[in-house]
Structure 1
Amino acid sequence: MTTSVNTTGLASGSFTELAQRRRSVYAYLDQPVPRSVVERALADAVLAPNHHRTAPWRFFVITRESRQGLVRAYEAAALRTGRDVARAAQRAQDAPLNVVVACVPAQDNPRVSLKEEDFASAAAVQNFLLSLADAGVGSLLTTGELAESPEVAALVGLDEPGAHLMGVINVGYRNTERPLANRPEPRLDRVIRWIGED
């Protein structure tokens, strides 16, 4: 495999370039994402590290044709929590496709901790987002009262012991008329410390 160096000084096709290309997208084109692209991203997602190999992640793909269920779930959650119902309904329709992500922790192994299951599910989400970015598809992980509501859990039939929602991922091609928010320059010196070095 050959690589070239782009104007940022990064090797084209490198992981660093991909990680920088993955951004939170808030505006999408009214254009469907091919199922093959989503299936590849899901296959990449489940390659995430997972202690005890329990595969706690669950992905529920909500297409344009089934979107009204998500709209109704968001509306019901908004009513219950005193939020703007119309705005909640719009959030459910912002992207051409949504993926509800849940964690179903293993219950039959006392050595498995919930924290590890959550970490594995979060790692699977990152794999999914990066795979979409590699295919030129935008995404946004949404969390909070609507995305993690019991109404959404009921919509996808999430009723296994200990199961809980991680969020809802918006998926679609970015509408370039809305600029991306500036990403702050990483301050590695503030978040990384090498132990044992002067």
Structure 2
Amino acid sequence: MNDTLQTQSIRDCVRNRRTIRKFKQDPVPKEMVIELLEDAVYAPNHRLTEPWRFIYIGSESGKKKHADNLKAAFKELKPNMKEEQIQKFREHILSVPAFLFVMMKEDENERIRKDDFAAVSCLIQNFQLLAWEKGIGMVWKSGEVLYSQTLHQLMGLHSDERVAALLQIGYPAEIPNGEKRTPAAQLLTEIL
């Protein structure tokens, strides 16, 4: 358990959670991830479709395979990517303690699909806050590579799924300062 963070209220977790990009090398056990997910799945989910599925990567062999999968995807998307860039990316992958892919089932109905993406996003935020309470940080990754058909095939995604997020997970080596937020009162319109 990380001693960097102390038990916090929900409000404190919401306000103090940070995106973590630098991790200690301490492993994040699969059992801990499962424990956090068991609570995170209580996210609001219209029609209780539970449109999520997860892939956990925490072992050295899993991280090497993940790096190979991403390299193949980058070759598809960026064929001119230099070998030095690929090697630097590989080193980064191997330095992250754990990864969690969050897959989302894509319903044929657009409205349901949008509702489901909102539910998956709520689940991810629940997961982040629950992890933060335990002293675990993460960065929520998205981007072009997560839409790669090569990556989808290598990860075993079903034809009706997409990657909603790739979470890099670990105990914070460094916690950045928070960014100032626009006060909600400035963004509120009241209809009378």
TM-score, scaled to structure 1: 0.81
Q: Distance in 2 between matches of 1:151 and 1:145?
A: 12
SS in 1 for 2:144: coil
What is the deviation of 1:147? 3.5
What letter matches 1:57 in structure 2? W
Q: Confirm or deny: 8 A CA contact 1:70 1:152 kept in the other structure.
A: no
Matched residue type, 1:48: A
Which letter maps to 2:17? R
Q: Which residue of 2 aligns with 1:93?
A: 94
Q: 2:165 aligns with which of 164, 167, 174?
A: 167
Contact 1:77–1:145 at 8 Å: present in 2 too? no
Higher helix share: 2
One-letter code of the match for 1:175? A
Give the letter for the 1:27 counterpart. K
Do residues 153 (structure 1) and 148 (structure 2) align? no
- Unpaired stretches in structure 1, ≥5 consecutive residues: 1-11
Residue 4 of structure 1 is matched in structure 2 by none
Given that 2:26 and 2:171 are in contact with CA atoms closer than 8 Å, whether structure 1 keeps it comes out as: yes
The sequence identity of aligned pairs, in percent, is: 24
Do the aligned residues in 2 keep the contact of 1:48 with 1:123 (CA within 8 Å)?
yes
Closer/same/farther in 2, CA of residues 193 and 33 from structure 1, 3 Å limit = same
Structure 1 partner of 2:121 = 122
User: What's the secondary structure of 2:176's corresponding residue?
Assistant: coil
Q: Alignment RMSD, CA only?
A: 2.2
Post-superposition Cα deviations, 1:49-76, rounded to whole Å, max 9, x if no partner, equal: 1111111011110112311111011111
Three-state SS of the structure 1 residue aligned to 2:44 is coil
Q: Which residue of 2 aligns with 1:7?
A: none
For residues 166-185 of structure 1, what are the structure 2 equivalents within 5 Å?
Answer: 166-176=164-174, 179-185=175-181
* Per-residue CA distance 1:69-119 (angstroms, 9 max, x = gap): 110111112222224322332343341100011111345xx6962111111
How many residue pairs get aligned? The number is 180
**Counterpart secondary structure, 1:113:** helix
TM-score, length basis structure 2: 0.83
Partner of 1:102: 103
Q: Looking at both structures, which has the greater relative contact order when contacts are Cα pairs under 8 Å and sequence separation is at least 6?
A: 2
d(CA) in 2 for partners of 1:111 and 1:138?
Answer: 33
Q: State which of 50, 54, 60 in structure 1 corresponds to 2:49.
A: 54
Q: Give the distance between the partners of 1:91 and 1:112, measured in 2 at CA.
A: 38
User: What's the counterpart of residue 11 of structure 2?
Assistant: 16
